[in-house]
Amino acid sequence: MQSVINKEFIANRIFIIRGQKVMFDKDLAALYHVLTRNLNKAVARNLDRFPRDFSFQLTSQEFENLKFQFGTSSWGGTRKAPRVFTEQGVAMLSSVLKSKRAVHVNIAIMRAFVRLRMILSSHKQLARRLDELEGRYDAQFKIVFGAIRQLMKEEEKPKRGIGFHIKYD
């Protein structure tokens, strides 16, 4: 079962919306092999298990930006604002969707979220270590440290523009 679940698919479907790492209902439905409306019905029947920090529906403005970003036509595709799930919301889905596939998919998604956290923390640790080394060595290494910092900045940029970001005042 684990080989059927594409880890790259999962990693590429984690977006940042409202400052939180989330997955869309349609992507989760595809992983679970259920229809999106059935996934949302199961959530609606168990709303007390999904507080706003576990799952939320996009606003109309966020949805318009999403349609523009993904090039959804006005005559087809999703017409209702999608629901997104945070890491905790995805974990809670395992109590709502009780198939064996749901269990395996949840495990794979949790591992993807953990890998993402590890990658983000390793960049912070590397930056901290670089600051320590820079403090110890003199100006002759300043150019080297500058080059390393530039490489770290380039690496942090997304490889391709996916998702959307809304700036709140």
For the chain, give every domain's residue range.
Answer: 7-120
**Cβ-based burial of 140 (10 A; exposed 0-12, middle 13-18, buried ≥19):** exposed
CATH topology of domain 7-120: Mlu1-box Binding Protein; DNA-binding Domain (3.10.260)
Full pLDDT tens readout for the chain, 169 residues: 444 567 777 878 888 888 888 889 998 998 888 899 999 999 999 999 999 999 999 888 888 777 666 555 454 556 778 899 998 888 888 778 877 787 788 788 888 888 777 776 777 777 777 776 666 665 556 666 677 777 777 655 555 556 666 666 6
Report the distance separating Cα 131 and Cα 146, nearest Å. Answer: 11
The pTM (predicted TM-score) of the whole model is 0.61
